[in-house]
Amino acid sequence: KNEVEQSPQNLTAQEGEFITINCSYSVGISALHWLQQHPGGGIVSLFMLSSGKKKHGRLIATINIQEKHSSLHITASHPRDSAVYICAVLFGNEKLTFGTGTRLTIIP
């Protein structure tokens, strides 16, 4: 069964802290997406990964294909980073399978 597990479910941190969100999946994948959903509901695609590491500003995403694991890191976190972060995986060429999301709150 194609499964995606995400942790933690909730994360509260102080402004400036280094944040890590984890995603594990059950079988081989074609691609993994990290998504950001703000309180208004709209979803922004942050990264798409098939291997290695990507960086955009303060955000870094890594994936380990052998361990079937990906992490999203936020450096120098800021209150505006507060959102729900969702890991979504493409198994083969099928539909995206979503993790349950991580609700991140950054306190000033």
**Binding-site ranges for another protein (CB under 8 A):** 30-31, 33, 35, 40-45, 48, 50, 86, 88, 90, 95-96, 98-101, 103
Q: Which two tokens stand for residue 45?
A: 């695609």
HSE-up of residue 13 (Cα within 13 Å, Cβ side): 23
Quick check: 100 and 3 in contact, CB under 8 A?
no
Closest distance between another protein and the C-beta of residue 69, in Å?
A: 18
Question: Considering beta carbons, is residue 64 or 75 the nearer one to another protein?
Answer: 64
Question: Considering beta carbons, is residue 88 or 106 the nearer one to another protein?
Answer: 88
Question: Considering beta carbons, is residue 42 or 108 the nearer one to another protein?
Answer: 42
HSE-up of residue 27 (Cα within 13 Å, Cβ side): 7
HSE-up of residue 67 (Cα within 13 Å, Cβ side): 10
Closest distance between another protein and the C-beta of residue 8, in Å?
A: 14
Query: Quick one: how far is CA 50 from the chain centroid?
Result: 14
Closest distance between another protein and the C-beta of residue 72, in Å?
A: 16
